Every structure is written in C-alpha cells, then in structure tokens.
Amino acid sequence: MSVEPRQVPTVPYGELVPVTVHFDDLDALGMLHNSRYPLLVERAWAEYWHGRGFRFDGDWVAAGDMCNVIKEMRLSYERPVTRPGRYAAHLWVERLGRTGLTYGFRLCSADGAETHAQGHRVLVRVDARTLRPTPWSDHARAVAADLLRPATAETETERKVEAERDAA
C-alpha cells in the first residue's frame, strides 16, 4: 500500500499551508475557540519559515531573523469552524520594510475557497542584545519577497506614509 502525498491547492498569491483542527480545539458551543485561530496561523507561519531554513533553538542571538516582536495584530472572524478536520492557512506578505514586515493571513477551508477568519500582523525584527529594530537579512527579504501580494490600488501618498513609518 502506498500513501500519496497530500495535494495542496494553489492560490493566486502567497501560499496555503495545511493546518489541522482537533476536537479539543472546539469550545463548549462546538466552534473553534477564538484563541485557536491566531495559534493555527502562527503554527503555519513557523512551519513555512522553518521549511526555508529559519530556526530558533533557544539562543536569541543566533536566531537572527527569528528574533522579532509583534507590533500589531488584527483578526476578523468571518465564519465559524464547527468541526475538526483539515483546513489551511493562506499566508502572504503585505509589506516588506527595512525592519518591519506586515503579513496577511486567512484561516480557510483546505482548498482555500471558504474563509473562516482573516487578518494581518505586523512584525518588527529586533536585535537580541538591544531589543531595538534592526534590518532583516537578505535571506529573509528574499523569502518574504516570494510571498508579496500583488500591488493593489494604493496612492502615492499611502506609499510615502509607509516609507516614512518604516524609516522610523
């Protein structure tokens, strides 16, 4: 008997990373507990970055780009997950700055067709010794660039504001 690898559908930008909802992830109403949505997305991001050679083994100085902090997180619950099973986290990068990175995500059906929750999170790369913002490595920038969402209709003013915020 052979086991075929699980096929992961494609999306027009970013990447779908399979995630599993277990029975004990559900709350008393039989829905995925609200705290599990960001946890599943975080685990998907960790799997994505680990698969590209980024690791944290307990030494923050050696962790390099993995030494980052959350500046902001927004999450909108769209449709409840009401049963255990296979789902996906759709991951992409909205903005890649010198020291900051904004990523978007959706927790969705395994094929990416149905959205259960969506949001974004802003990370800032920090120096492990000073905890001050520090630039992403060229390697991290290259990996993140592969996930950049195609440009949307944004004004020149919005781009300037983002550039000024990133320079700070």
pLDDT tens track for 59-78: 999 999 999 999 999 999 99
Q: Mean pLDDT, the chain, as a whole number?
A: 89
Cα–Cα distance measured from residue 144 to residue 160, given in angstroms and rounded to the nearest whole number: 21
Candidates 54, 160, 49, 51; CA nearest to 103 is: 49
Cβ atoms of residues 104 and 14 within 8 Å: yes
What is the per-residue pLDDT for 159? Answer: 53
Vertex 15: Cα angle to 124 and 51 (nearest 5): 70
**How confident is the model over 122-139, as a mean pLDDT?**
97
What is the per-residue pLDDT for 155? Answer: 42
What is the per-residue pLDDT for 165? Answer: 58
pTM attached to this predicted model? 0.82
Task: Please list, in sequence order, all residues whose beta carbon lies within 8 angstroms of the beta carbon of residue 126, skipping any fewer than 6 positions away.
Answer: 67, 68, 69, 132, 133, 134
Does residue 41 carry a pLDDT above 80?
yes
Cα–Cα distance measured from residue 63 to residue 80, given in angstroms and rounded to the nearest whole number: 36
Cα–Cα distance measured from residue 32 to residue 162, given in angstroms and rounded to the nearest whole number: 35
Burial class (CB in 10 A: 0-12, 13-18, 19+), 47: middle
